[in-house]
Amino acid sequence: MSTTRISLPSKGQPWAELQQRMSDMGKNDVDWRHGKASVYVFHSGDDVMQVAHDAYGMYIAENGLGPGAFPSLKQMESEVVNMALSLQSAPNGAAGSMTSGGSESILLAIKACRDARSATAPVPGTPEIVAPYTVHPAFDKGAHLMGLKVIRVPCSDNFCADVGAMAEAITENTVMLVGSAPCFPYGLIDPIDALSQLALDRNVWLHVDACVGGYLNPFMRTVVEQQGGEPVEAYDFSLPGVSSMSLDLHKYGYAAKGASTVLYRDKSLRDAQIFNVDVWPCGQMFTPTLAGTRPGGAIAAAWAVLNYLGEEGYVARAALIKDAREQLVKGCQDLGLEVFGDPKLSIVGFGSKNHDILAVGEGLYEDGWFSSRLKNPDGIQVMISPEHHKTMPNYLKAIEKNLDDVRAGRRQRVSGKVSYS
């Protein structure tokens, strides 16, 4: 079979033409600007996007690998990490880093945990991570790369971590427990309080994956205090058994892509994350994260958006998310759909005991709505951005239309595939 290989054009082409071609290429992309994407994009307003864009552009060439050359980026990263530590009630002596995303933050926490443990109390066999079924596959990726094993434990009936079952899964090889705040599939916070106690009792590291919730939960808590509603339970360093946390700036921090934070209760734990060698002609190579070169733009955009929005801006956006979530939960219930668990943040998963929800999901996709789909049980997952409070009524109409089609036999499941990849 022959493939067409594209070669580098022999001559450069005018930017105006390239711009047009690029915009043409995007014509079949999901229309996130009009609320059609409930995954991948976190739209919190054109003004925020502009700040991130301009700040990224200002530091597009600078490189976070060289703090000596770019004290500006060093200062911005330090300020971002400090804001994150404050938001997560971190004690004095806590430390962290900016990374390229949630997966890198998780990989680094696994590395730090593995190395800290092997330096103090090595386990006899393959080190194990005990986690609820719902944790993000980045833990499996990290375990695969670094020679650990993930033990996924089925959740309780409320779709949250079953702490009793996780306790039973701990062995002499367990080095890490994981809880999510919230988990991606259902948007539910695991019982981190009980996991923290378990981690202390069994002397293991607890990582809280707050990639989704780290820059949302504190502000949702404020909105609930102002408006009433279900409180956001404790999930951060205020719980003494939490050793590390991952929280993504490029999700509900509304920063440009390529930005997350990984935090540790104590700098000594964070030191185990660092890779530092002196093995080649250029001397010492000190890299705190997985990357060598680190895009200055991503650091600058995160710093700028955090300062542009401030607490007030994040609280206002959390209020919009709460409004959209309440519209969605009520709309699903009115349509006879089952909401999974009791979501209090920005993600809602729902299914149906009577109708094929994956067929409904396929219909939504054909109509241009890009929602994630779930299995065990079958469902649809929506990750709400602030801008969705405007488009939620239309999304609910689209669910109703597709559900009617499934009920009436006008639509059947085609592939039943859950993942888009």
Ligand X SMILES: Cc1ncc(COP(=O)(O)O)c(C=O)c1O
Residues that bind ligand X (CB under 6 A): 101-103, 136, 138, 180, 184, 209, 211-212, 248, 260
Stated length of the chain: 421
Task: Please identify, using beta-carbon distances, which residue of 209 and 387 lies nearer to ligand X.
Answer: 209
Q: How far is the CB of 178 from ligand X (least distance, A)?
A: 10
Each as own residue / partner, the long-range contacts of residues 220-226 (CB below 8 Å, 24 or more positions apart, any chain) are 220/318, 220/321, 220/322, 220/344, 220/345, 220/346, 222/311, 222/315, 222/318, 223/315, 223/318, 223/319, 223/322, 224/322, 224/344, 226/315, 226/319
Task: Please identify, using beta-carbon distances, which residue of 103 and 244 lies nearer to ligand X.
Answer: 103
Q: How far is the CB of 104 from ligand X (least distance, A)?
A: 7
Give the pair of three-digit tokens for residue 277: 């060698």
Distance CA 61, CA 83 (A): 25
Distance CA 175, CA 190 (A): 19
Q: How far is the CB of 38 from ligand X (least distance, A)?
A: 12
Q: How far is the CB of 122 from ligand X (least distance, A)?
A: 28
Task: Please identify, using beta-carbon distances, which residue of 51 and 183 lies nearer to ligand X.
Answer: 183
Q: How far is the CB of 149 from ligand X (least distance, A)?
A: 19
- Angle, in degrees to the nearest 10, between helices 388-407 and 296-334: 50
Q: How far is the CB of 355 from ligand X (least distance, A)?
A: 27
Task: Please identify, using beta-carbon distances, which residue of 210 and 398 lies nearer to ligand X.
Answer: 210
Give the pair of three-digit tokens for residue 78: 């330090």
Task: Please identify, using beta-carbon distances, which residue of 83 and 345 lies nearer to ligand X.
Answer: 345
Task: Please identify, using beta-carbon distances, which residue of 51 and 245 lies nearer to ligand X.
Answer: 245
Task: Please identify, using beta-carbon distances, which residue of 257 and 411 lies nearer to ligand X.
Answer: 257
Distance CA 287, CA 161 (A): 34
Q: How far is the CB of 233 from ligand X (least distance, A)?
A: 16
- Angle, in degrees to the nearest 10, between helices 71-87 and 296-334: 30
C-alpha triplet 261, 176, 341: angle, nearest 5°: 75
Q: Which residue is nearest to ligand X (CB)?
A: 102
Task: Please identify, using beta-carbon distances, which residue of 100 and 402 lies nearer to ligand X.
Answer: 100
Distance CA 284, CA 268 (A): 21
Q: How far is the CB of 139 from ligand X (least distance, A)?
A: 9
Edge-first strand listing for the sheet containing 149-153: 95-99, 260-264, 242-248, 205-209, 174-180, 128-132, 149-153
